[in-house]
Amino acid sequence: MSRSVAPVQASAIERAEAEADVLVVGLGCAGAAAAVEAAAAGASVLVLERASGPGGSSAQSGGELYLGGGTSVQKACGFDDDAESMFAYLRAALGPHADEEKLRLYCEGSVEHFEWFRALGVPFQETLFDAPTWMPLTTDGLMWLGENAWPYDHQARPVPRGHRPAAPGFAGGLLMERLVGAVCGAGARIENDVRAAALVVEDGRVAGVTARRFGADVAFRARRGVVLTTGGFVDDEAMLAAHAPVLLGHGKVSDGGDDGSGIRMATALGAATRRMGSVQVALTALPAAAVRGVLVNAVGQRFINEDVYPGLFSSAAVKHQPGPWWVVVDEAGWESIPAGDLWGVRPRYAAETIAELEAELGIPAGALEATVMVYNRHAAAGEDPLFHKNAEWLRPLEPPFAALDPRLGFASGRDATPQGTGAAGFTLGGLHTTVDGAVLDVSGTEIRGLFAAGRASAGIHGEGYISGTSLGDGTFFGRRAGRAAATGADRRP
């Protein structure tokens, strides 16, 4: 068998290593959800994972799930929510060009999806983390993700919707532990160390995959359908250069396996892609510090309200502002940050005056002084007419001052050497699919027997991103893809 991604005819395969009703390729959150639902629909399921164990990038994530509409956690924390308010916020925050058909289904099914996680044993604590952060180092089950920041607080009723499994810090491991347990409990079989190479086609229908395992060529057959949940393409430099060059040179939010393999396998069969230039990029700027000060570009200018979801200020910085970028705070603001929100970060520079600080930062003389002067004048009146930061966080900055360098990363200390740009990201575009995960060809026709979910597909996102919408839409549409594959037509006897 060839190692090319070109599709292989079933007649060219002498022997299949194994056969199942549904093959799921990739065992991150989307693959786990697809496997659980396919098995629940009565299909035999075989999951192929390229690594030596399950989890993928999902297991290394913060574990946030963007869910709302009135979950039990929201209600316990005193918040009323509905699908329409959730839809209004996400349409704005994930746009422009969010997939409104998928997004509406996601919002309308969000409460049920939350209960699905709970039924699988994912624990959620019914408490709120009520401060800006990338990820709480607590077990709080609910957090704000920019819903209460301008302009979104004027476009939708502000309600926190970031749901987190009850683990301090990175909760992706706990989430995947429960999802993989559900896969095994549903009777699905998992084969590790299997790297899918190409799709197998029989009578115009996808009927399996070829793969490599321990240096040998193998093949696996699917009687009903193949679900590609292989992740995005941030680890493939050629694909980034072709589709999402904004991420070139930045760090990668990945386990190292997001190389676009599933996307390439499907496009070799004529599959269409969508929004391949859409990305998420995260700046390792401390939200708890940024909100207490000002976030500025290389010429000392503010460019956004610092209380917005940190992924949005990151995107604004990396995509539209000259770097390096700096968070400038004063001593009182820095000392007011709770120890648990510091993430080991320390200021890189300190100075008695803004003029001294801008000289240290290499900012043109007078530029940062002008920015802070305007900020302070309005903050003294509890206003931010330029960027509309919430009055809760407005206070004139007073000496001494400090600057935090996102290039140092977290938990690095002031004497660390800057590494890279201070930004890291992943891709959001992928295969064009229906709401049930069926992969479409370039003419808009469903490719029989082929499904996709997670970051191998283009989900609900347009050009924006909010934490929890990758794990959220990956599992939500992974479930739909698994069910659709399990109930597919043209089954072989």
Is the residue at 52 inside a domain?
Answer: yes
Residues 135, 140, 141, 146, CA torsion sign: negative
Is the residue at 85 inside a domain?
Answer: yes
Q: Are residues 139 and 183 in the same domain?
A: no
Lookup: tokens for 316 = 């604004």
**Within 13-97, where are the H helices?**
29-40, 56-59, 72-76, 83-93
3-state helix, strand, coil in the chain (%, to 5): 30, 20, 45
pLDDT at residue 417, as a whole number: 66
Q: Are residues 365 and 406 in the same domain?
A: yes
Lookup: tokens for 59 = 């297991």
pLDDT at residue 3, as a whole number: 64
Q: Are residues 399 and 468 in the same domain?
A: no
pLDDT at residue 1, as a whole number: 38
- What CATH number is given to the structural domain containing 267? 3.50.50.60
Is the residue at 3 inside a domain?
Answer: no
CA count, 13 A, side-chain hemisphere, 367: 15
Q: Which of 169, 199, 220 is the last residue in one of the domains?
A: 169
Determine contact, residues 461/66, Cβ cutoff 8 Å. no
Determine contact, residues 163/65, Cβ cutoff 8 Å. yes
Q: Which of 147, 169, 191 is the last residue in one of the domains?
A: 169
pLDDT at residue 2, as a whole number: 42
Total domains present in the chain: 3
Question: Residue 372: which domain range?
Answer: 285-421
Determine contact, residues 459/429, Cβ cutoff 8 Å. no
What is the block-wise mean pLDDT of the chain (493 residues), using blocks of 10 residues?
Answer: 81 96 99 99 98 96 98 99 98 96 99 99 98 93 98 97 96 98 98 98 98 97 98 98 96 96 98 98 93 98 97 95 97 94 90 98 98 99 98 98 89 62 95 98 98 99 97 99 85 40
Q: Are residues 206 and 164 in the same domain?
A: no
Q: Are residues 400 and 291 in the same domain?
A: yes
Q: Are residues 53 and 182 in the same domain?
A: yes
DSSP single-letter state for residue 17: S
Q: Are residues 315 and 416 in the same domain?
A: yes
Q: Which of 115, 140, 169 is the last residue in one of the domains?
A: 169
Neighbours of 139 (CB within 10 A): 17
Q: Are residues 34 and 178 in the same domain?
A: yes
Q: Are residues 94 and 48 in the same domain?
A: no
Q: Are residues 242 and 381 in the same domain?
A: no
d(CA 162, CA 160): 6
pLDDT at residue 339, as a whole number: 87
